[in-house]
Amino acid sequence: MKIGLIAGKSDLPIEFAKSVKSNSKELVIFAIKSITDKQIEKYGKTYWINFGEAQKLIDLMHKEKVTHFVMLGKIEHYLLIFSFFKLDKRAKEFLAKLKDKKAKTILEGVINELESEGFKALDPTPYLGSLLVNEGLLNNIPLEEKYKKDVDFGIKIAKQIAQLDIGQTVVVKDQIVIAVEGIEGTDKCIERAGKLGGEELVVCKCARKNQDMRYDVPVIGEKTLESMKKAKAKVLAVEAGKTYLVNKEAFIKKADKLGISVIGVKINEDEIKI
């Protein structure tokens, strides 16, 4: 098995590459200029391509005799709107076939397109299982009683928003939805909520119902905490078992320093009304 890693933004692709390397698997990395962290080059043979060069990506995967592929890391959704001119002929033809431009539709379409070329999508969970958030308090700042109702309320809303493929994050206060993540992404959603709702916000992040772990799994990291600090948010609640936490030790240290409670919430999807 030879794995091709299509790497976007964030530390998650690097964590995957480290894990693959430690498991002595063959890895070729396809990084995106101005998006992927250059540190990725330390962990395998790396090709740099421009955003939208679909045919070049496919040609390189064939050249390297890749058998399986993984897509990890953020590629901002808005790039498809504001950078359409950067897409090559193959990418434009691919997008034209889609029924809509929701994230789930696009990502599933990319998987189908690559599998039609003979590459098989690989579930990265076996390589990243240690990064999945456990249920319960993750750091040393206890969840105050006054925030518990907001966590319960917000998690349920976030699950529904995720299923509608609008975003993965909602910010709530006093059981009022202050902000919903849209095309701007999680961090800007949190910062916007701070301007609208003031202090003591609760940030909730969830995966889709029956989340396909091959793509678009929720991720939290230190950048999330930095955005929460700006917004003066007090709690981060995420779905246990379906959210990745990168650089856990540094993350927990920072959350403690900022006085932010971080908890993993186990969700019974049958109880969430969509």
What is the per-residue pLDDT across 124-150, written as a single tens digit (0 to 9) for each?
Answer: 999 999 999 999 999 999 999 999 999
Could you list the residue range(s) of the whole structural domain that residue 229 is in? 132-271
Domain end (from 127, 149, 170): 127
Q: Are residues 96 and 9 both part of a single domain?
A: yes
With a cut of 80, say whether residue 80 has pLDDT above it: no
Q: What is the pLDDT of residue 23?
A: 87
Q: Are residues 220 and 239 both part of a single domain?
A: yes
With a cut of 50, say whether residue 239 has pLDDT above it: yes
Q: What is the pLDDT of residue 76?
A: 82
Distance CA 114, CA 259 (A): 44
* Residue written as token pair 């320093």: 257
Q: Are residues 147 and 246 both part of a single domain?
A: yes
Distance CA 31, CA 8 (A): 7
Q: Are residues 72 and 155 both part of a single domain?
A: no
Q: Are residues 154 and 251 both part of a single domain?
A: yes
Q: Are residues 34 and 102 both part of a single domain?
A: yes
Domain end (from 75, 105, 127): 127
Show the DSSP H helices in 65-130 as ranges: 79-82, 89-97, 103-116, 125-128
Would you give the distance in Å from CA 35 to the centre of its chain? 14
Distance CA 204, CA 150 (A): 9
* Residue written as token pair 């230190």: 222
Q: Are residues 119 and 23 both part of a single domain?
A: yes
Give 45's strand partners. Answer: 28
Q: What is the pLDDT of residue 274?
A: 44
Q: Are residues 137 and 233 both part of a single domain?
A: yes
Q: Can you give the CATH number for the domain in which 119 is found?
A: 3.40.50.20
Q: What is the pLDDT of residue 79?
A: 77
Q: Are residues 225 and 255 both part of a single domain?
A: yes
Give 244's strand partners. Answer: 132, 219
Q: Are residues 97 and 161 both part of a single domain?
A: no
Q: What is the pLDDT of residue 208?
A: 94
Domain end (from 127, 148, 167): 127
Q: Can you give the CATH number for the domain in which 143 is found?
A: 3.40.140.80
Domain count, the chain: 2
Packing angle of the helix pair 103-116, 89-97 (nearest 10 deg): 120
Question: Could you tell me where the beta strands, DSSP code E, fall in the chain?
Answer: 2-7, 26-32, 45-49, 68-72, 120-121, 136-137, 169-173, 176-180, 201-205, 219-220, 233-239, 244-245, 261-265
Q: What are phi and psi of 149, to 5 degrees?
A: -65, -35
Q: What is the pLDDT of residue 272?
A: 59
Place 29 in a pLDDT band, splitting at 50, 70 and 90: very high
What's the rounded mean pLDDT across residues 161-186? 95
What's the rounded mean pLDDT across residues 153-178? 96
Q: Are residues 165 and 115 both part of a single domain?
A: no
Q: Are residues 35 and 13 both part of a single domain?
A: yes
Q: What is the pLDDT of residue 269?
A: 74
Place 271 in a pLDDT band, splitting at 50, 70 and 90: low
